[in-house]
Structure 1
Amino acid sequence: MLPVDLPDTVRDALLAPLVDHACHGVRRDELSRAQFELLINEGASPAPPGTTHFDTPIGAGLRRWCAPVLDLEPHAPPAVYVSRRAELGSAEVNRRLLRAAGVVVFLVDTGVENVDLLSAAEMGRGGAAAAEEIVRAEQIEQDVAETAQAAVDYMDGLGEELTVRAVRAVGLKTVAAYRLGLDFDPSRPSRGSVIAAANRRLSDPKRRLDEAVLLRHLLWTAVDVARERGLPIQVHTGFGECEADPHRADPARLAGFVRALQPMGVPVVLLNGYPFQRQAAHLAHAFPHVYLDAGPAFAQTGAGSARLMEESLELAPFHKLLFGSGGRGVAESCLLGAVHFRRALGKALKARLDEGEWSAADAARIAHMIGSGNARRIYRL
Structure 2
Amino acid sequence: MAGPQFAPSAGALALVDHHCHSVVAAELADDALAGLLTESDRPPAPGCSPFDSALGLAVRRWCPPVLGLPAHAPAADYLARRRELGAAEATARLLTAAGLDTCLVDTGLTAAAGLPLLPLGELAEAAGASVREVVRLETVAERVTAGAEDWPRAVAEALAEAAGGAVAVKSVLAYRHGLAAPAERPARSAVVAAAGARLRGGPERLTDPVLLHHLLWTAVDVCAELGLPLQLHTGFGDPDLTLHRADPALLADFVRAAEPSGVPLVLLHCYPYHRQAAWLAQAFPTVHTDLGLTASYTGPQVAAVLGEMLELAPFGKLLFSTDAYGLPELFLVGTCQFRYGLGALLDRWQADSACSAADAERLTRLIAADNARRLYAL
Q: Same fold (TM over 0.5)?
A: yes
Structure 2: gaps of 5 or more residues: none
Q: How does 1:231-242 map to 2 (within 5 A)?
A: 231-242=228-239
Question: Could you tell me which residue of structure 2 aligns to residue 377 of structure 1?
Answer: 374
Q: CA deviation at 1:99?
A: 1.1
Q: How does 1:334-353 map to 2 (within 5 A)?
A: 334-353=331-350
Q: How does 1:30-69 map to 2 (within 5 A)?
A: 30-69=27-66
Residue by residue over 1:279-312, the C-alpha shift from the partner in whole angstroms, topping out at 9 and shown as x without a partner, is 1000000000100000101111111111110001
Q: CA deviation at 1:195?
A: 0.7
2: CA distance, partners of 1:321 / 1:365: 13
Change in CA separation of 1:182 and 1:103 when aligned onto 2, cut-off 3 Å: same
Q: CA deviation at 1:89?
A: 2.0
Matched to 1:312, the amino acid is M
Q: CA deviation at 1:244?
A: 6.4
2: CA distance, partners of 1:166 / 1:205: 26
Q: CA deviation at 1:245?
A: 4.5
Question: Could you tell me which residue of structure 2 aligns to residue 182 of structure 1?
Answer: 179
Q: Which has the higher mean CA deviation after the structures are superposed, 134-143 or 45-54?
A: 45-54
Change in CA separation of 1:296 and 1:212 when aligned onto 2, cut-off 3 Å: same
In the alignment, is residue 308 of structure 1 matched against residue 295 of structure 2? no
* The structure with more helix, counted as a fraction of residues: 1
Question: Could you tell me which residue of structure 2 aligns to residue 209 of structure 1?
Answer: 206
Matched to 2:43, the amino acid is P
Question: Could you tell me which residue of structure 2 aligns to residue 227 of structure 1?
Answer: 224
1: CA distance, partners of 2:256 / 2:15: 30
Q: Which has the higher mean CA deviation after the structures are superposed, 81-90 or 207-216?
A: 81-90
2: CA distance, partners of 1:152 / 1:29: 44
1: CA distance, partners of 2:241 / 2:169: 26
Question: Could you tell me which residue of structure 1 aligns to residue 279 of structure 2?
Answer: 282
2: CA distance, partners of 1:128 / 1:209: 36
Matched to 1:22, the amino acid is H
Q: Secondary structure at the match of 2:313?
A: coil
Question: Could you tell me which residue of structure 2 aligns to residue 112 of structure 1?
Answer: 109
Question: Could you tell me which residue of structure 1 aligns to residue 327 of structure 2?
Answer: 330
1: CA distance, partners of 2:241 / 2:20: 24
Residue by residue over 1:243-288, the C-alpha shift from the partner in whole angstroms, topping out at 9 and shown as x without a partner, is 6653322211111111111111000000110011111000000000
Q: CA deviation at 1:131?
A: 0.4
Q: Which of 11, 14, 17 pairs up with 2:14?
A: 17
Q: Percent identity?
A: 47
Q: Which of 273, 294, 302 pairs up with 1:297?
A: 294
Asked whether the equivalents of residues 177 and 184 of structure 1 are also in contact (C-alpha less than 8 Å), the reply is no
Matched to 2:365, the amino acid is H
1: CA distance, partners of 2:138 / 2:53: 31
Change in CA separation of 1:240 and 1:50 when aligned onto 2, cut-off 3 Å: closer
Asked whether the equivalents of residues 106 and 120 of structure 1 are also in contact (C-alpha less than 8 Å), the reply is no
Task: Provide the aligned C-alpha RMSD in A.
Answer: 2.0
Change in CA separation of 1:245 and 1:197 when aligned onto 2, cut-off 3 Å: closer
Asked whether the equivalents of residues 107 and 120 of structure 1 are also in contact (C-alpha less than 8 Å), the reply is no
Asked whether the equivalents of residues 232 and 269 of structure 1 are also in contact (C-alpha less than 8 Å), the reply is yes
Aligned residues: 372
Q: Secondary structure at the match of 1:318?
A: coil
Q: How does 1:58-207 map to 2 (within 5 A)?
A: 58-114=55-111, 116-144=116-144, 147-148=145-146, 150-204=147-201, 207=204
Q: CA deviation at 1:29?
A: 1.7
Q: Secondary structure at the match of 1:366?
A: helix
1: CA distance, partners of 2:38 / 2:368: 26
Structure 1: gaps of 5 or more residues: none
TM-score, normalised relative to structure 2: 0.94
2: CA distance, partners of 1:3 / 1:153: 59
1: CA distance, partners of 2:183 / 2:48: 44
Matched to 2:3, the amino acid is V
